[in-house]
Amino acid sequence: MQNDNKRFVERDRDWHPPAYAPGYKTSVARSPSQSLVSLQTPSASELTGPDFRRLRMGRYDNDLLMNFREDPALAGSAGLPAGERIMMFGRVVDQFGKPVPHTLVEMWQANAGGRYRHKKDGYLAPLDPNFGGVGRCLTDEQGWYRFRTVKPGPYPWPNDVNSWRPAHIHVSVMGPAISTRLITQMYFEGDPLIPLCPIVQTLRDPEAVETMTGRLDMARSRPMDCLAYRFDLVVRGELQTYFENQ
Amino acid sequence: MKQPNSQPTAALLLRETASQTAGPYVHIGLALDVAGLPERDEEIWNRMARPEAEGEHIEVVGTVIDGNGDLVRDALLEAWQADARGEYRPEFDLEQPFNGFGRTATTAEGASEWRLETVKPGAVTRGDGRVMAPHINLAIFARGVNIQLQTRLYFEDEAEANAACPVLNAVESPARRQTLIARREEVDGRVRYRFDIRLQGEGETVFFDF
């Protein structure tokens, strides 16, 4: 019996996207037709999860301007990726507003032209020889994380005849247990493609879309260097339980 | 403004960040080798147990199949399991013999099987004192999956423990419980369990909410 004296706030599955959202065509054949079975009594299986404090990270794991070179000989500005230099940062908190320290935040994205460095992406926009598109870091003691990158471009995808993804960065966060595990996407404030996107539209509540929008933060931008976008992540709230089984 | 369902303290709670699909290129971020990207010094991947880890060493393999019966070739799976003694060990450290967390993926190539190298987990006791049969928790992320699907892999050769497992028994349909049982095979003297995940339709795998 381990960690059985806590609970996480129930996930609101009307707030999250449904499995079956036919506007996003791939979900049609990839959504269960049966109901989920609710575990009435959570156990250590769900209430624990990995702690990555001893995962050894590289110096530039959270700096996408520096962590990929097709040709390692390229240095200085010749070794930097093309595109809008940005810092992406924020805080991971739980639903009670409590910071989530030392948790793993991972991200991946396309380059400035909307092309992914993935062998399955055949979009005609070129790869950037100085951009890989992957980052990771742990949140600090107060729950803050940060990445340096370029703003990704929108890209077309085969859904409707002319569907384009808004600029987005995929974000993955573990939180304190597998119950809080979350993968989402950060969109950029003001992008007119957001309301047109079938994947964004899997969400039924416009307020939920707001939770996925990174905000331009001029105060944290660096003059003559890079802009900053803030994206806070909220994971399920953790609460202690009392008087169970007594 | 819509209120969260069945949460009496809703007004006091922040809303959880909404989930979105991991998309077709999830490997760039979480399975670099599969994407064709150079790996970093330490990656979180599918070798959860080194030879010196305590317990019965096993391989777990399977496919992911969609509602049309076609292979899902771009799924990422995450595993979380207890050690051979039935203890969850949160500390992830590639220098230790066993890690309870691992990742694997199905790919565009060949039979598109995901694969984990691990040890068979011990039984875990719940807070109410009831013993759950040995199991591995699995989460499936993929293009077309808007929020991860959570399931459990149980072992065919633990029939007695499975019959008594309070979680398996919470699945109302006995026939559906069978979708959670991995089949044991022996290949070149090694023990392998096969667990195919069917996202939809006939033989649909049971997925959990917790």
Q: Which residues contact A93 (CB under 8 A, 6 or more apart)?
A: A99, A100, A143, A232, A233, A234, A235, B14
Q: Provide the pLDDT for residue B6.
A: 52
Question: Which DSSP letter does residue B91 get?
Answer: B
Q: What is the mean pLDDT of chain B?
A: 95
In chain B, residues with a C-beta closer than 8 Å to the C-beta of A27 are: 21, 144-146
- Tell me, yes or no, if A239 comes closer than 8 A to chain B by beta carbon: no
Looking at the predicted structure, is the pLDDT value of residue B80 above 90? yes
- Report the Cα A62 to chain-centroid distance in Å: 13
Q: For residue B193, give the nearest of B106, B113, B89 by alpha carbon.
A: B113
- The residue type found at A2 is Q
Chain B: closest CA distance from residue A33 (Å): 6
Give the H or E element holding residue A240: strand A238-240
Q: Provide the pLDDT for residue A75.
A: 87
Along chain A (246 residues), what's the average pLDDT of each consecutive run of 10 residues?
76 97 98 96 96 98 97 92 98 97 98 95 96 98 98 97 98 98 98 98 96 97 98 94 60
CA atoms within 13 A on the CB side of B69: 1
Angle formed at CA B141 by CA A91 and CA A138, multiple of 5 degrees:
30
Q: Provide the pLDDT for residue A49.
A: 98
Give me the long-range contacts of A17-22 (CB less than 8 A, separation at least 24): A17/A202, A17/A203, A17/A204, A17/B18, A17/B19, A17/B20, A17/B146, A17/B147, A18/A202, A18/A204, A18/B146, A19/B145, A19/B146, A19/B147, A19/B149, A21/A198, A21/A201, A21/A202, A21/B146
The model carries a pTM of 0.95
A97–B14 C-beta distance less than 8 A? yes
- The residue type found at A200 is V
Beta carbons within 10 angstroms of residue B173's beta carbon = 11
Distance CA A107, CA A181 (A): 14
- Do residues A29 and B200 make contact, with C-beta atoms less than 8 angstroms apart? yes
- Tell me, yes or no, if A98 comes closer than 8 A to chain B by beta carbon: no
Mean pLDDT of B187-199: 96
User: Which two three-digit tokens encode residue A184?
Assistant: 């989402």
Chain B: closest CA distance from residue A241 (Å): 11
Chain A: closest CA distance from residue B105 (Å): 14
Angle formed at CA A22 by CA B109 and CA A168, multiple of 5 degrees:
65
Chain B: closest CA distance from residue A209 (Å): 8
Per-residue pLDDT band for B11 (boundaries 50, 70, 90) equals low
Distance CA A81, CA A74 (A): 11
In chain A, residues with a C-beta closer than 8 Å to the C-beta of B206 are: 34, 37
- Do residues A140 and A89 make contact, with C-beta atoms less than 8 angstroms apart? no
Beta-bridge partner residues of A146 = A89
Distances, alpha carbon B155 to alpha carbons A148, B120, B152, B165, B184, in Å? 44, 9, 10, 12, 7
Q: Provide the pLDDT for residue B165.
A: 98
Beta carbons within 10 angstroms of residue A1's beta carbon = 12
B144–A95 C-beta distance less than 8 A? no
Q: Provide the pLDDT for residue B8.
A: 52
- Tell me, yes or no, if B158 comes closer than 8 A to chain A by beta carbon: no
B94–A56 C-beta distance less than 8 A? yes
B16–A120 C-beta distance less than 8 A? no
- Tell me, yes or no, if A38 comes closer than 8 A to chain B by beta carbon: yes
- Tell me, yes or no, if A193 comes closer than 8 A to chain B by beta carbon: no
Chain A: closest CA distance from residue B176 (Å): 10
Interfacial B residues in 80-99 facing A (CB < 8 Å): 80, 82, 87-88, 90-95, 99
User: Which two three-digit tokens encode residue B67?
Assistant: 């509602």
Interfacial A residues in 107-126 facing B (CB < 8 Å): 107-108, 110, 116-121
Distance CA A5, CA A42 (A): 10
Distances, alpha carbon B162 to alpha carbons B133, B135, B181, B195, in Å? 5, 9, 9, 16
Place of tokens 């707001």: A210
Q: What is the pLDDT of residues B104-119, one digit of tens each?
A: 999 998 999 999 999 9
Name the residue in chain A with its Cα closest to that of B26: A108
Question: Which DSSP letter does residue A241 get?
Answer: -
Q: Provide the pLDDT for residue A79.
A: 95
- Tell me, yes or no, if A87 comes closer than 8 A to chain B by beta carbon: no
Distances, alpha carbon A109 to alpha carbons A155, B6, B143, B198, in Å? 11, 36, 15, 29
- The residue type found at B120 is K
Pairing of strands A213-216, A182-188: parallel
Q: Provide the pLDDT for residue A243.
A: 62
Question: Which DSSP letter does residue B101 get?
Answer: E
A120–B139 C-beta distance less than 8 A? no
Distance CA A150, CA A63 (A): 10
Q: Provide the pLDDT for residue A5.
A: 74
Beta-bridge partner residues of A135 = A107
Q: Provide the pLDDT for residue B9.
A: 53
Q: Provide the pLDDT for residue B1.
A: 45
Assign residue B12 a region: left if phi > 0, alpha if psi is -120 to 50, beta otherwise? alpha
By annotation, the residues of A acting in catalysis are 116, 155, 165, 168, 170
Grouping H, G, I as helix, E, B as strand and the rest as coil, residue A233 is: strand
In chain A, residues with a C-beta closer than 8 Å to the C-beta of B112 are: none
Q: What is the pLDDT of residues B134-187, one digit of tens each?
A: 999 999 999 999 999 999 999 999 999 999 999 999 999 999 999 999 999 999
Per-residue pLDDT band for B7 (boundaries 50, 70, 90) equals low
A95–B14 C-beta distance less than 8 A? yes
Q: What are phi and psi of A239, to 5 degrees?
A: -135, 150
